[in-house]
Amino acid sequence: MPELIDGIDFVSGDLFSFQQANRMKNNWYSGATPPDNPTNGMFWVKNDGAVYYYFNAWILLHGIHTETLLASVASVDLEVEDETTLFTVPAGMSCIITKVVMRLATGAGLPVGASISFGFNAGTSDDVIANAVFVLDAATEYIIIPAADKAKVGVATELFAINVNTGEGAAMTVTLDVFGYLF
């Protein structure tokens, strides 16, 4: 079946009329301006960088972003109380961290029991994920650690780091995958 992006003049389906499908297709391209007052049933998409608009009877979204792997850092030491940078926000960008995945625990310290936090604020790194103990019992397990509500937005050149607040007490490293999006 042809797709809207192909620029064709007909889309088969029962959800909209031929005329509405053509309006959707014609307003898919950059430069299209969404209406000031969308009405029920309108579907308008504009790609201007990473910004999309979608209007229908129930939804008005502005700025849909795709979560992506921003960094993967292996061998992060959980034995020593210290801060380790995981990701630097690129110049001219801002960053939302959505989660951190902790995996591949190795060392004498299993189960993992270090007290850790994550964030952009130097010294404590706790303004995205507050200080807590995240337990891995085996090297084959992983933990998904979501960002807190009202977490800090990272700005250009800021460092996102893990802070080991209370060390493991034995040799222990993990791999940390940082997920989020830039805008």
pLDDT at 139 (0 to 100): 87
Report which of residues 22 and 83 the model is more confident about. Answer: 83
pLDDT at 110 (0 to 100): 72
C-alpha distances (whole Å) from 55 to each of 39, 61, 112 are 8, 7, 47
pTM: 0.66
- β-partners of residue 166 are 115
CATH architecture of 68-182: Sandwich (2.60)
| Average pLDDT score over residue span 96-117 | 88
Band of residue 23 on the pLDDT scale cut at 50, 70, 90: low
Q: What is the mean pLDDT of the chain?
A: 76
Give yes or no for a contact between 95 and 161, defined as CB atoms under 8 angstroms apart: no
Number of CB atoms found within 10 A of residue 10's CB: 9
| Average pLDDT score over residue span 109-129 | 90
Helices (H), 17-67: 18-26
**Structural domain spans, the chain:** 1-64, 68-182
Distance in angstroms (rounded) separating the CA atoms of residues 40 and 21: 15
pLDDT (tens digit per residue) in 63-73: 456 789 999 99
| Average pLDDT score over residue span 74-91 | 95
pLDDT at 27 (0 to 100): 52
